[in-house]
Amino acid sequence: MASLELRNVQKSYGNSQIATLKDIALKIDAGEFLILVGPSGCGKSTLMNCIAGLENITGGEILVDGEDISQASPKDRDIAMVFQSYALYPTMTVRDNIAFGLKMRKVPAAKIEEEVARVAKLLQIEPLLERKPSQLSGGQQQRVAMGRALARRPKIYLFDEPLSNLDAKLRVEMRTEIKLMHQRLKTTTVYVTHDQIEAMTLGDKVAVMKDGVIQQFGTPHEIYNNPANLFVASFIGSPPMNFVPLRIRQRDGRWVGVLNSEQGSCELPLPITSDDGLRDRELILGIRPEQIGLAGVGTADFSLAVDIEVVEPTGPDTLVVFTLNQVKACCRLMPDQAPRVGETLNLQFDPRKALLFDAQTGERLGVVQPEPVRESKVPRLVSNGAGTAQ
Amino acid sequence: MSDFAQPRLTLGRLTIHATLLLACAVYLVPLIVMLLTSFKTPEDIRTGNLLSWPEAFSAMGWLTAWDSIGGYFWNSVKIVLPAVLISTALGAINGYVLSMWRFRGSQLFFGLLLFGCFLPFQVILLPASFTLGKLGLANTTTGLVLVHVVYGLAFTTLFFRNFYVSVPDALVRAARLDGAGFFTIFGRILLPMSVPIIMVCLIWQFTQIWNDFLFGVVFASGDTQPVTVALNNLVNTSTGAKQYNVDMAAAMIAGLPTLVVYVVAGKYFLRGLTAGAVKG
């Protein structure tokens, strides 16, 4: 396994003025799982192709184990890739598909046999070895595609949206399997997805991309709790973070934001120490649905009565929609706490987790609270939970 | 198919079947006339009518025909085999490059190549004979093969390019990461998938080149002429009584190879032409 570092990687096509990738810089250690996540067209797949050598970069360096490989041809980079479409060779059997890369590298036949057997056992595809890809289901094709990558024992694995062609149930299962496999094999992996749940659940590190720029690079925990800007905050999390336009005022030497509902208003302390000219700017308060809860009796602080407009039970919890400062907001309650539509509910907002953004630039404002990083092997899940391995 | 219920025999169905049978007859009659006539004796032809059964089947027409055009038949084989194989092989590589290894200007290149499909034979007669003369290949089989290869390239390239465009790029990219080079990817991955389009190409080129008359008559002379030209010479000789049985037999001989190719490979032809229309 190898470490991967990107130094100011640039990519632009032909005479296009707009760069597809702008100054991409990040570094992961050997054995780490990096997620590139972002909306379509953000450049994440291009970046992956650049790492693989399928596309040339127009600036910067790609280092594997400290060695610049940006000029090397794909076959010399020792990188394996799992494609979204799986890209299995249709005329070859599963066995030949897995063995192809080894044959190309002139591995002795006995060794190839051994490797194929190892990979097939690992992925539980032994009964499929003599079949053609067209005789396999989507999930099986997915396994074979992974097997083909694993057989070569390359320095780095690339996954290009590998789960997006699977149905919802299988996707959750395969996600768990990929995670399990990574925990066992400790392979350096770069994984492209547009699915924020995959990003949160699988990654050791996550790079959120938009318009060819890395918006934020950090652990899933950091990305979730300390988003660098409005885009990252809105992209990660499901249901998404609430964004509420905010006016601020000073009370008792502290800065507070005013929240209004049909029923009244409350003041929320903000993570800023001076007004920094904020009074002249349009501000947005970001607060996640799970950071709004039922106000207990007597805890009147930062609580507000709201009219319930929509109730969406998801099973494990119930999403409740109401209006805050003239926009729809959502909170996540336990199913047994859930109100009925039309009721009035007293909600409490967690001011420590509230984030402040500039409405114009999307930039994060105020003090970024240093999060106590919890050393947990398994990143915490946003929702759904990890599926059960079969 | 057997799962479908048998449609009931109605007047509408009867009409359809009758029409189809009539259409079949219209197409088959010329062939029947040719076959029957080829087995008749000249006497028989003069006395009977077109569709009358031969009084006695005589192989004389076929033997005479083979005597006069048999040598040219082999000429045609010698022209067609290399021309078909070379143009198909080059077309396959061209198509591979133009779909999977695009280079700057490759679209323009392909566009220009497409013009070749619309060029009538007559237009290239003079330039081609000029070129063949310069190359010292005038009136040779090699020269004729060259003309057919060059003319056919536009078509074969088009076939293969359009076929490979529907093949996902990811296959080639996966193979590159697996360490395969340009020709390995082509030979190990794309060619095995290309059987339908290879068949289309072979049939198309075979038919075109075997049936060609104009290039044959212009670029070959004497002993190197293809069978089509020989057939023409045979049928158009104006001395003596017309030997219709020989003419018909010779025409059958000249037409037989294309017929055989269609019968043998026809199913691939349809499959290849419709390949990519429905992604399964």
**Which amino acid belongs to residue A268?**
L
pLDDT bin (cut points 50, 70, 90) of residue A310 is: very high
CA separation for the pair B227, B218 (Å, rounded): 14
Lowest mean pLDDT among A276-280, B143-147, B176-180, B195-199: A276-280
pLDDT of residue A358 exceeding 90, the answer is no
Contact assignment for A84 to B171 by CB distance below 8 Å: no
Q: What is the CATH number of domain A4-234?
A: 3.40.50.300
- pLDDT, average across residues B63-67: 90
A98 to chain B nearest CA, in Å? 10
User: Are the CB atoms for A178 and A100 separated by under 8 Å?
Assistant: no
Which of A242, A272, A245 has its CA nearest to residue A256?
Answer: A272
Structural domain boundaries in chain A: 4-234, 241-365
Render pLDDT for A65-121 as a digit per residue (tens, 0 to 9): 999 998 999 888 989 999 988 899 999 999 999 999 999 999 999 999 999 999 999
Nearest-angstrom CA–CA distance, B167 and B164: 5
Q: Mark yes or no for CB contact A83/B193 under 8 Å.
A: no
CA closest to B168 among chain A residues: A87
Inter-chain residue contact B178 with A54, CB threshold 8 Å = no
Residue type, B109: F
User: Per the CB < 8 Å rule, is B178 touching A104?
Assistant: yes
Examine the pLDDT at A272 and tell me if it is beyond 80. Answer: no
Taking an 8 Å cut-off on Cβ atoms, the answer to whether B177 and A74 are in contact is yes
Give B210's contacts (C-beta < 8 A, 6+ positions apart).
B76, B80, B226, B227, B228, B257, B258
Q: In this complex, is the C-beta atom of A84 within 8 Å of any C-beta atom belonging to chain B?
A: yes
Its ipTM equals: 0.78
- Is residue B131 a contact partner of residue B184, using CB atoms and an 8 Å limit? no
Distance from CA of A146 to the nearest CA of B (A): 12
Confidence band, pLDDT 50/70/90 cuts, at residue B275: low
Cβ separation B184–A104 shorter than 8 A: yes
Report the share of chain A in percent with pLDDT over 70.
91
Considering the four listed CATH numbers 3.30.110.30, 3.40.50.620, 1.10.3660.10, 1.10.3720.10, the one that applies to the domain covering B62-274 is 1.10.3720.10
Whether residues A91 and B176 touch (CB distance < 8 A) is answered with no
CA distances from B169 to A40, A53, A218, B96, B172 (A): 19, 14, 32, 11, 5
Domain ranges of chain B: 1-58, 62-274
- Per-residue pLDDT, A231: 93
Instruction: Please determine, for residue A378, whether its predicted confidence score (pLDDT) is greater than 70.
Output: no
State yes or no: pLDDT of A275 exceeds 80.
no
The end-to-end CA distance of chain B, in Å, is 19
Reported as a pLDDT band with limits 50, 70 and 90, residue A382 is: very low
Asked if the Cβ–Cβ distance from B180 to A85 is below 8 Å, we say no
pLDDT value of position B79: 93
Q: Encode pLDDT of A164-205 as tens digits.
A: 888 888 889 889 989 998 998 898 999 999 888 899 999 999
Whole-number pLDDT of residue B5: 65
Q: How far is B112 from chain A (nearest CA, A)?
A: 22
Residues of B within 8 A of A157 (CB-CB) are: none
Q: What is the largest CA-CA distance in chain B?
A: 76
**Within an 8 Å CB–CB cutoff, is residue A89 touching chain B?**
yes
Beta pairing class for A79-82 and A355-358? unpaired
> Of A272-276, A351-355, B106-110, B145-149, which gets the smallest average pLDDT?
A272-276
| pLDDT of A350 above 60 | yes
DSSP lists the bridge partners of residue A318 as A313, A333
Question: With 90 as the cut, is the pLDDT of residue A250 above it?
Answer: no
Which of chain A's residues have a Cβ under 8 Å away from the Cβ of B190?
none
Q: Which residues of A touch B185 (CB under 8 A)?
A: none
Q: Does A378 or B116 have the greater pLDDT score?
A: B116
Contact A52 B168 (CB under 8 A): no
Give me the CATH code for the A241-365 domain, please. 2.40.50.140
Mean pLDDT in residue range B100-113: 89
Residues of chain B in contact with residue A53, where contact means CB-CB under 8 angstroms, are 177
Question: Residue A344 belongs to what H/E stretch?
Answer: strand A344-349
A338 Cβ partners below 8 Å, 6+ apart? A311, A313, A318, A320
Q: Return the sign of the alpha-carbon dihedral for residues A170, A173, A174, A175.
A: positive
Q: How far is A92 from chain B (nearest CA, A)?
A: 8
SS3 of residue A208 by DSSP: strand
pLDDT at B278: 40
Q: Is the pLDDT of residue A380 over 80?
A: no
Give the minimum alpha-carbon distance from A75 to chain B in angstroms, rounded to a whole number.
4
Q: What are the pLDDT digits (tens) for B132-189?
A: 999 998 888 999 999 999 999 999 999 999 999 988 888 999 999 999 999 999 999 9
- Record: contact B176-A75, CB cut-off 8 A: yes
Interchain CB contacts (distance < 8 Å): A and B = 59
Residue A104 and residue B180: Cβ atoms within 8 Å?
Answer: yes
